[in-house]
Structures are given as structure tokens and as C-alpha cells.
Copies of this chain bind each other. A is one copy, B any other.
Amino acid sequence: MNLPIFFDAAIAAATVNTNIILEEATSKHVVQVLRMQIGDAFFLTDGNGIKAEVVITATQKKRCEVTITSIENVAPKTSGLSIAIAFTKNASRNEWFLEKATELGVVAIIPIQTKRSEKVFFKEERWNTILVTAMLQSQQFYLPKLYPVQDIGQFFTNPAFKKPQQFIAHCMESNQKQSLSALMKKDSDVVVLIGPEGDFTSEEVQQALQASYLPVQLGHTRLRTETAAMAVCSLYNLLDEKS
């Protein structure tokens, strides 16, 4: 069923057959942009698995009232892809990656501060809006978890980021690099670490190897940071089809 989906952070606390009033921005979108009418149905989600079907019971320009007709808990994925990425200095390229990674269903995004990457300013509100919009647009009910910026050293030692499969995509010459598509398993939690424009330092690559990261090659062309990260998300999402 392809009903539109809207975001409501508080929907988890609601119960079936109760009435709620949507937030003003959502109300305006429903009433003025989509011109939905009394009796029209859509979904609300909190980005954490709630899928509530609602029907419009009253509309004004900036106020839309709905009745909740059903509430479902969408099961979380049993495994997923986390991307740890040294953001570029170009904010629009970073934001573009946040959108595409969300569309492609990643479960976590971890901005990494490396020696050669720009200082990352964590724009929590703006970035969350991008994630929410992309989640709704791609008809999902879970937001990726967006972590605060991690120093690369902390990242390697924090148990929260340890996964059964761990890969690092660096640009240094190496005969140890293997094919990500051959190694990556879809039934496993995977983390892939993508370097900055100037690449990781050799110390950082050594740290990764010591933390049991496997070096991988991403195709035959030299990819920009955000393209490499998005290509990995695509591969995981499309490989998923096999299982």
C-alpha cells in the first residue's frame, strides 16, 4: 500500500481510535500541498518502527486532525550497514550523502574526524531533517542512527562500533586489498570506513588493521569520498536482494 508517510516524533505514545492534531508543518503539507481531504488516509511514523495508519477528521489551513485507525510495529532489520565517513569540506556533498545513504537503507552513519579531514561541524537539526525527509520519501519506518563526530582513535576503541564485518577503503597502494562485493555478507552487521579526500594517514590505516579491519578496493575508478560511501550503501542494498 503506497499511502504517503509523515513524521510524528510523539506517535509512539498514541493509541488506536484516539484523535491527534498534527504539527503545523505537517498539517500544512497535508492540507495545502497535497490537498488531502477529510476521510483520506496516510501513515505516521516516529522513525523508530511505528507505522500508524490515520484518517483525516478535520482540516484547517495549518491544522489537520486525524484519528488513528491502526498501529503496527515494523520489525527492525536483523542486520545492517554502518558507514563511518570522513566528511568533506563541501557541506552540500555531505548532505547529499546523508540523503542517499538514508534512501539506501543504512542503519548508522558515523562522521569521523581523521588527521587529513576538515573539522566537521555537526549540524544536528539540519542533518536530522534531511534524514527524516529521505526516510519518508523512500517509504521506510526507521531512521539511520546519526552519531556525533568521532575522533578516529576513539572510533576504533569504542565497542559500540565493533561489528562482525569491518572494512576500510583507503587509496594507498596495497596488494592486500580484496573485493568488497566478494567479502560483504548481507546477513551480518557490517561497518565500512571511508577516508577523507586526502586519504587516511598510514598510521590510521595501521590502526584500522590492528582493529581487525580488512582493506578493500571499490571499483576501478578513483571515487570521491561521498561517492565511495554511497556506492558501498548501494552495493549492500542491492546485494540484499539475493537472500
Contact = CB atoms under 8 A, between A and B. Distances in A.
A227 B100 contact: yes
A231 interface: yes
A139 B222 contact: yes
A28 B235 CA distance: 39
- The complex is assembled from copies of this chain, and their number is 2
B221 A139 contact: yes
A201 interface: no
Contacts of A241: 179-182, 217-219
A140 interface: yes
Nearest to A226: B100
Contact of A238 (B140, B180, B240): B180
Nearest to A138: B221
A217 B238 CA distance: 8
A102 to B, nearest CB: 9
B140 A242 contact: no
A17 to B, nearest CB: 29
24 contacts: A104-B221, A137-B222, A138-B221, A138-B222, A138-B224, A139-B221, A179-B238, A179-B242, A180-B238, A180-B241, A181-B238, A182-B241, A182-B242, A218-B241, A219-B237, A219-B238, A219-B240, A219-B241, A220-B237, A221-B237, A230-B234, A231-B237, A234-B235, A235-B235
